[in-house]
Chains A and B, each alone.
Chain A
């Protein structure tokens, strides 16, 4: 049962345009959501996060939107740059302790390619 889904395996965008990466989740206990960027054979790099009490969070060129009723979040990158080309993972964490400690549930990732 895949609780976090990224339905688009890949996305291709022109430099300077907006990149929109999407993520859906099924577990209503998820309370904290994160986006990571990853290059091959490297560890994921944290980009931005959002808690369920918010519907939007911005950090520079990156904005994450959360729609709790639809169990959907998206990452917007504006403007996109060739250096943004990487695999992007969304991840979710449930509230509370117990089985939530230290456990992120990841989507399968979306490969973003930004063309010059």
Chain B
């Protein structure tokens, strides 16, 4: 089975621009979660989607948004980029299971640099 894929792998943007990142989950996985990793804050949860619905959201400003399509592929969007948005953005997918008992499998991440 193919793993979680994320595109693009690397991205350079300037402040004020917006960016869209894409994630394709493992076949059969319907839950997709997004995380931001920075040296100072570690891995932090952004949001989770299941069956095209956002079920959970972390403590990030409204500039961070996402969506999920009927084939479970997901995108996240960051508008009005700030320098502090430079990070590794990770997508993870999981197979439906008992809530709180799901093993998440991560993609390789998208490295975003905001100049």
Contacts and interface: CB of A to CB of B under 8 A. Distances in A.
Contacts of B88: 41
Given A32-B100, A32-B101, A94-B100, A101 B50 contact: yes
Contacts of B109: 41-43
Contacts of A103: 33, 45, 48, 56, 58
Interface stretch (A17-25, A58-66, A68-76, A104-112): A104-112
A93 B45 contact: no
Given A43-B4, A102-B31, A103-B45, A49 B103 contact: yes
Contacts of B35: 104
Contacts of B13: none
How big is the B interface, by class? 20 to 34
B6 to A, nearest CB: 8
A43 B43 CA distance: 11
A102 B74 CA distance: 14
A97 B103 contact: no
Contact of A101 (B48, B108, B111): B48
Given A101-B56, A102-B48, A43 B100 contact: no
Q: Which of A36, A104, A105 has the most CB of B within 10 A?
A: A104
Interface in A38-97: 41-46, 49, 51, 89, 91, 93-97
Interface string B81-115: 00000001010101000011111111111010000
B102 A102 contact: yes
B42 A106 contact: yes
A36 B106 CA distance: 10
A102 B48 CA distance: 5
A103 B90 CA distance: 13
Given A43-B106, A43-B109, A46-B104, A101 B55 contact: yes
7 contacts: A34-B104, A43-B90, A44-B90, A44-B106, A96-B100, A100-B99, A103-B45
